[in-house]
Amino acid sequence: MRSSGQSGTPASTPSCEDGRHPSHATPLICVVAAAGRSRRFGAADKRHARLKDGRRLLAASLAAAAELTPRRLVVLGPGESLADWALAPSASLELLSLERPSDALGDSLSAAFRWLLQQRQQQRPELTAAAVWLGDMAWISAPTCRRLAASARADRLVRPRFHGQPGHPVIVGCDFWPEMTQLHAQDGARALLHRHRQALLEIDVDDPGVVRDLDTPEDPR
């Protein structure tokens, strides 16, 4: 995998209990999984789909994710650039490129969480939780984001729920990051949530955006 100046796998992982961070640091980061292309969307790349307000889907999703935390890591395919969406890497928006093409969510997440573990070890011990945000979810509201972010903790898993339906983003405390690095193929965080049900906090929200995405060209935008 390739990122903006960082690569490799950490030799060891610091305990989440060791995290000490200055008051200005942000302990939550958002992983925006956007390396895959939806087959149900046809030949077009849905990440470039235009929404009603004129924005492209991925750019709108990244903007929505910033309401959860300004620190975002977007996972793209090999050779892809944020410039494709008129964006640029910055201190709050970083890029991780997969080494090989993959439409599988598990491949993106395992690469991202390996990168996060390395970051905690080398230079960002303040990171204590990461939100898994899908690249086609642009409609999650700011109040929902604030509620979820306030519940993030190193030893906790957080998931929103709309009318009983589980949604995204799922926030994964750093106690569980090593397990996230073992994901592959189409694996998401579902199995992790099942294994650690005692650590799962489900938050009921009146926000259909947590279960809304864009799967086909006919879906509402």
19: in domain? no
What mean pLDDT is predicted for residues 10-25?
A: 41
Q: Which is higher by pLDDT, 21 or 100?
A: 100
Would you say 78 and 101 are in contact if contact means Cβ atoms under 8 Å apart? yes
7: in domain? no
Q: What tens digit of pLDDT does each residue of 48-97 get?
A: 899 999 999 999 999 999 999 999 999 999 999 999 888 888 989 999 99
Encoded tokens for 130? 């990461």
Neighbouring CB atoms inside 10 A of 77's CB total 17
Would you say 207 and 148 are in contact if contact means Cβ atoms under 8 Å apart? no
Q: Which of 52, 72, 75 is nearest to 63 (CA)?
A: 72
Domain extent, residue 132, equals 25-37+46-211
**Which CATH number does the domain housing residue 190 bear?**
3.90.550.10
Q: What tens digit of pLDDT does each residue of 155-194 get?
A: 999 999 999 999 999 999 999 999 999 998 777 788 899 9
The pair phi, psi for residue 129, each rounded to 5°, is -155, 150
Number of separate domains in the chain: 1
Encoded tokens for 161? 């729920």
> Within its chain, how far is the Cα of 22 from the centroid?
24
118: in domain? yes
pLDDT at 5 over 70: no
Rounded CA gap, 156 and 151, in Å? 8
